[in-house]
Amino acid sequence: MKLTVVGCGYLGATHAACMAELGHEVLGMDSDMDKVAVLNSGRAPFFERDLDDLLAEHTRSGRLRFTGSYAEAAAFGDLHFIGVGTPQQPDGHAYDLTPLFSAIRQLAAHVSGPAVVAVKSTVPVGTAPRVRDLLRDLSPAGEAIEVAWNPEFLRESHAVEDTLRPDRLVLGFDAERSWAEAVLRQCFTKIIEAGTPTIVTDWATAELAKASANAFLATKISFVNAMAEVCEAAGADVGRLADILGQDVRIGRPGLSPGLGFGGGCLPKDLRSFVARADELGVGRSLTILREVDAINGRCRERLVTLARELCGGTVDGKRITVWGAAFKPGTDDIRDSPALAVAQKLHELGATVTVSDPKALDSARKLHPALDYADDPIAAAQDADLLLHLTEWPQFAHIDPRPLASRVTSSKVIDGRGTLDADDWRAAGWTVRTLGRP
Ligand code: UDX
């Protein structure tokens, strides 16, 4: 099939490359010409495992190309995926749909014949009819445009795998779905034939699928972090507790790792926007739990700062603190709402000299937090430190030998904000080790 992907960020660039991998001819469209140039050179403008390989392979084979032109995109094929970002409003909790509607308007102006527009962007429930009306009002094709809702559940750092082999495929249509459904099923034939559960539903349910999946994931993380608070008070070990809880198949261990909590471009924003939308719909009470999920998540960062102060003898003012981790999680260079950087910035504001090290995210961290110090080498970053904080669990940090490191620092104290360092080994090397929620 010939298809386009409008909006080539984490979601769209990955989707475009994966659709080419499935055998389609793909044109990615983005209004950022710098991004278009990088993508056309067969690289991603961000770090995502396996994505560079796919981009290189398919830009070379000619199956994948990128453009900045809506006219070219509209003329390219009759299936258009929309992967435009929906950020949080700067002064509120709801989504800012301006970029989405702007993309829809510009695409619509050039679509002249029957087409399916399949939206992947995360939106408040109730957006699909607005997209349909806008498309039909503004496009010369009018009623010949159909809208499908195809939420995306990919995790950064596993984006290619999650796109090619998703847990489930969700396709949302309105009552006139016949043609759009056939087009989407044809597009995803290989994924469907691989046995992927495929759920066809209405627009609103498809929109809610993404919001509620992320709300549930966030709730699971905050649940275990609330247990960490209880463990601290009771002298219990939240790591062991999570292992025990996770043995129950109804609970499951994945997504139940305690620590510094969730960040990133999705969970925090999606949670708040979901609550805002529920308020608009008059069912805000139903999502009261999500306000608490957000609050618990914020407390993880506060608890870490409190613990850092405690280990520094009551104040971090004038102390040298090394932070391992800047990305919001390992495997990505994405620093959006990064818990690690939030803690680093707070400690800096409290008077500490903070040096951050991260395998992939230092360039973007430098731009957003210019007052912090940075070091490529995590070992050099720890030179003369009064305190070491392990805040993003890159595997390379867990492999660092704590013995020689102990002689570099001023004070061999570490807070493991992710619970993935070998605490016994670090203690044996002479370190004082503290982990949230563990004795
Ligand atoms: C998430 C959803 O997983 C994905 O389905 C959706 O499409 C987009 O949002 P992502 O933001 O890439 O994906 O990351 P995820 O792996 O879910 O982690 C989110 C945050 O939660 C990270 O900061 C991570 O460190 C934290 N986390 C995750 C925990 O603190 N504990 C866990 O057990 C799992």
Say whether pLDDT at 245 is over 80.
Answer: yes
Output the CA torsion sign for 291, 296, 298, 302. positive
Question: What does the block give as tokens for 98?
Answer: 């301006």
State pLDDT tens for residues 315-325.
999 999 999 99
The Å distance, Cα 411 to ligand 1 centre, comes to: 33
For residues 194-215, one letter each, b for 16 or more C-beta atoms within 10 angstroms of the residue's C-beta and e for the rest, the string is: eeeeeebeebbebbbbbbebbb
CA 296, 298, 300, 304: dihedral to nearest 10 degrees? -150
Q: Average of pLDDT values for 48-66?
A: 97
pLDDT of 175: 83
Kindly report the protein residue whose alpha carbon is nearest to atom 20 of ligand 1. 262
Is position 300 annotated as part of the catalytic site?
no
pLDDT of 242: 98
Domain with CATH 1.10.1040.10 in the chain: 211-295
Q: Hey, which of 150, 251, 267 would you mutate to test ligand 1's pocket, going by the most ligand atoms within 8 Å of its Cβ?
A: 267
335-342-402 Cα angle (round to 5): 85
Q: Average of pLDDT values for 111-120?
A: 97
Q: Average of pLDDT values for 26-48?
A: 97
Residue 388, exposed/middle/buried by CB under 10 A (0-12, 13-18, 19+)?
buried
Tokens 């939030």 identify what position? 342
The Å distance, Cα 329 to ligand 1 centre, comes to: 8
Share of the chain above pLDDT 70, in %: 100
The Å distance, Cα 267 to ligand 1 centre, comes to: 7
The Å distance, Cα 261 to ligand 1 centre, comes to: 9
Gap between the Cα atoms of 357 and 382, Å rounded: 9
Q: Are 322 and 358 in contact (CB under 8 A)?
A: no
Q: Average of pLDDT values for 175-185?
A: 88
pLDDT of 177: 65
Q: Is the pTM of this model over 0.85?
A: yes
Gap between the Cα atoms of 88 and 301, Å rounded: 21
Gap between the Cα atoms of 36 and 93, Å rounded: 30
Residue 399 CB contacts under 8 Å (≥ 6 apart), including other chains:
none
Domain with CATH 3.40.50.720 in the chain: 2-196
Ligand 1 lining (C-beta closer than 6 Å): 152-156, 214, 217, 221, 255-257, 259, 261-264, 266-267, 328-329
Say whether pLDDT at 213 is over 80.
Answer: yes
For residues 19-40, one letter each, b for 16 or more C-beta atoms within 10 angstroms of the residue's C-beta and e for the rest, the string is: bbbbebbbbbbbbeeebbebbe
Q: From the alpha carbon of 257, which atom of ligand 1 is closest?
A: 33
The Å distance, Cα 295 to ligand 1 centre, comes to: 17
pLDDT band at residue 261 using 50, 70 and 90 as cut-offs: very high
Q: From the alpha carbon of 155, which atom of ligand 1 is closest?
A: 12
* CATH of span 211-295: 1.10.1040.10
State pLDDT tens for residues 134-155.
999 999 999 999 999 999 999 9
* CATH of span 2-196: 3.40.50.720
Say whether pLDDT at 90 is over 90.
Answer: no
pLDDT band at residue 402 using 50, 70 and 90 as cut-offs: very high
Q: Which of 8, 18, 187, 266 is catalytic?
A: 266
Kindly report the protein residue whose alpha carbon is nearest to atom 31 of ligand 1. 257
Q: Average of pLDDT values for 381-393?
A: 98
Kindly report the protein residue whose alpha carbon is nearest to atom 10 of ligand 1. 155
pLDDT band at residue 176 using 50, 70 and 90 as cut-offs: confident
State pLDDT tens for residues 247-256.
999 999 999 9
Q: How many CB atoms lie within 10 A of CB 93?
A: 16
Gap between the Cα atoms of 291 and 273, Å rounded: 11
Q: Hey, which of 257, 266, 391 would you mutate to test ligand 1's pocket, going by the most ligand atoms within 8 Å of its Cβ?
A: 266
Q: Hey, which of 122, 168, 253, 262 would you mutate to test ligand 1's pocket, going by the most ligand atoms within 8 Å of its Cβ?
A: 262
Mean pLDDT of the residues in the chain: 97
Pairing mode, strands 79-82 and 169-173: unpaired
Gap between the Cα atoms of 90 and 399, Å rounded: 39
Say whether pLDDT at 353 is over 70.
Answer: yes
